């Protein structure tokens, strides 16, 4: 487990604690990232996937389509998080710990035209 994974797990553990209620901070940050594409998130993703095989060779769809799909997915998670059980931190823990290649490809596709 690398340093970026530990930091992300700590942040989402806090989000899981404060996420009980109508507002999901993880989803809100995710929506911001999809819309604004800040460079700090791309660097975080690169740090998170450090040590994994190089997923640079991929064919991505246009960024606008990927961003739209990601935004809709985050909106669905945001809606699910209104329930008394925070769903987003559980999904985030899975993504942080397993670091699937498809997720890194989605991140790179979101930043494709940046």
Which pLDDT value is given to residue 59? 56
Which pLDDT value is given to residue 15? 87
Range of the domain at 86: 3-110
Q: Domain count of the chain?
A: 1
Cα-to-chain-centroid distance, residue 28: 11
Which pLDDT value is given to residue 114? 45
Which pLDDT value is given to residue 63? 81
Which pLDDT value is given to residue 84? 72
Q: Tell me the pLDDT of the chain (114 aa) as tens digits.
A: 899 999 999 999 998 888 666 778 899 999 999 999 999 999 999 999 988 766 555 555 668 888 999 999 999 998 888 877 778 899 999 999 999 999 998 998 898 874
């Amino acid at each position: 487990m690398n340093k970026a994974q530990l930091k992300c797990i700590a942040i989402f553990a806090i989000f899981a604690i404060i996420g009980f209620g109508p507002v999901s901070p993880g989803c809100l940050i995710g929506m911001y990232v999809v819309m604004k594409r800040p460079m700090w998130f791309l660097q975080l993703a690169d740090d998170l996937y450090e040590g994994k095989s190089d997923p640079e060779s991929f064919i991505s769809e246009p960024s606008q389509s990927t961003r739209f799909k990601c935004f809709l997915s985050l909106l669905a998670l945001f809606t699910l998080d209104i329930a008394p059980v925070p769903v987003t931190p559980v999904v985030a823990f899975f993504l942080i710990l397993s670091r699937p290649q498809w997720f890194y490809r989605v991140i790179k596709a979101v930043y494709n035209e940046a």
